[in-house]
Chain A
């Protein structure tokens, strides 16, 4: 059973339009050129989306490898094998490859102890990256990192601390 075909409403009104502009209750059987064009566009768009998806998975995998190196660098530098260490790629700009890795200076719940943050840069060598600076954060710091940091050290971050 298909949808009901009702008589065309306002037929006299539509008759005033040229034939190619009139509404139709069902499509004219044609040579399928429009369908062919639509199909080609759909395939092209599908290919673009598929390539973009695969590219993004590969890009994100690269980022993940970098974050793994960041976390390993923090643990090696601080000699603390803590689980809750967080890497931030956005604080110093996503295009810079400079990541900020923060973790507690002593055992305790995440961010509930004073934290040490390291700015890590450069390529990964032997599973580690270069520590180019850093700062400390008071316990409980969540969002206001720029105003809360203190004790800045290293070539990249000297002078960044407000006090």
Chain B
């Protein structure tokens, strides 16, 4: 009797869970969307400390929201993070039974659209990109020799972040070349073009995440959700139209090429192409170069070395011709940026924990030493058969954690690799670091300054 009763109860429980899972997923998706809409609508109202001064591209939305303050922003960030966690847990646990594919695509499309229509969020970087392009195209000034202050009479100058006005470009020559055609569009036109560029790069990256997850025999849906609904990705990365998205597109393009099964000549061409893509990505933003040694060690063929060398020579030759020696001197730019300290960096937090007022020069050396040790360990592990994609992801995570200049979009770098890697620990570690970053933003919520 009891056996029959238990047997009758079990399908009911299963069907009950099955019924609630999509409802819960739908609620999480709507919550993530609502939180993003709230940030965008309030951000469209001017005079917020969180929204950079910018051309009125979202002025038509400004009558709906209220001025974005820290309290509303942080509550929205918490809500989006909780929704993301719930959605991700459901997607990994129950797949399409909880999160139907169409829902996920609709949510991702809606998040992209909302961000596209809204103002630039939380960062002035995009105005630096435009300023460097206008320096070169409109004013004939080399952006690798001068900061935007050299065009203080240009309309874009007033939107460039105060700290970056004297700083020459730290971005790779390929990125500067990509941005040059946008300069003649004017400030408004260039800003919209930058937003389109960020959206296309993001959608391309997500498509490649899907493809790579499938190629690795993983369910692509949770992998896609892990990247595309991530609040740091949506609000900080996409919201700021950061060129990190273009770098990530090149990174995932390279990974996708290595995961496509081809033998012989075709395989060699793909591996050479993958290495060339990594080099191209590194000439947008140098960090992605960290993938190259892992790929070369894992493949142990000449093709990736040849592909990387050919791309490096070709792009640097063009860069040198256009920008001169300074345009191809990426090491100086990296060294300069490595000396900056941001209040959100873990190095700064650890210094405070040990009673120091901040990071000292010796700490920079210690952090570099730690990073070298981690990368050497990962290289050795890759040589002995560890998943090179996971090793590269760990390296990017280590770079962001040991950097004294940490920004939200830097901890996005390892995420697309984490969701397609064979080491689940990488995804857990990446999400944990992101969660700590979000917790660190919460001070104005617990102790507001008025």
Name A's B-contacting residues (CB within 8 A): 1-4, 6, 8-10, 23-28, 38-39, 42, 46, 48-57, 59-62, 64-65, 67-68, 71, 94-95
Contacts and interface: CB of A to CB of B under 8 A. Distances in A.
B258 A3 contact: yes
Given A10-B300, A68-B450, A95-B357, 15 more contacts: A23-B385, A26-B385, A28-B384, A49-B401, A49-B433, A50-B436, A53-B439, A56-B349, A57-B439, A57-B442, A60-B447, A64-B447, A64-B448, A65-B447, A68-B449
Contacts of A57: 439-440, 442-443, 446
6 contacts: A4-B261, A8-B300, A25-B385, A60-B447, A68-B450, A94-B358
Given A48-B350, A59-B352, A3 B440 contact: no
Contacts of B214: 1
Chain B: interface secondary structure? helix
A38 B449 CA distance: 42
B352 A27 contact: no
3 pairs of A and B residues whose beta carbons are closest in the complex: A24-B385, A4-B261, A61-B447
A6 B263 contact: yes
A124 B263 CA distance: 73
B443 A23 contact: no
A6 B297 CA distance: 14
Contacts of B405: none
Contacts of A1: 214-217, 261
A75 B433 CA distance: 40
A91 B357 CA distance: 14
B215 A64 contact: no
A49 B258 CA distance: 34
Contacts of B215: 1, 3
B429 interface: yes
Chain B interface residue count: which class? 35 or more
A3 B357 contact: no
Contacts of B217: 1-2
Given A1-B217, A42-B425, A53 B349 contact: yes
A8 B301 CA distance: 9
B212 to A, nearest CB: 10
A42 B216 CA distance: 25
A9 B440 contact: no
A13 to B, nearest CB: 9
A67 B449 CA distance: 7
Contact of B346 (A8, A24, A52, A95): A52
B388 to A, nearest CB: 10
Given A39-B425, A52-B352, A95-B357, A4 B262 contact: yes
B383 interface: yes
Contacts of B440: 53, 56-57
A53 B436 contact: yes
Contacts of B346: 49, 52-53
B432 interface: yes
From A6, A55, A61, name the one whose CB has the most chain B CB atoms within 10 angstroms.
Answer: A6
Nearest to B300: A9
A94 B357 contact: yes
Nearest to A56: B349
A163 to B, nearest CB: 28
Nearest to B356: A95
Nearest to A3: B259
Nearest to B263: A6
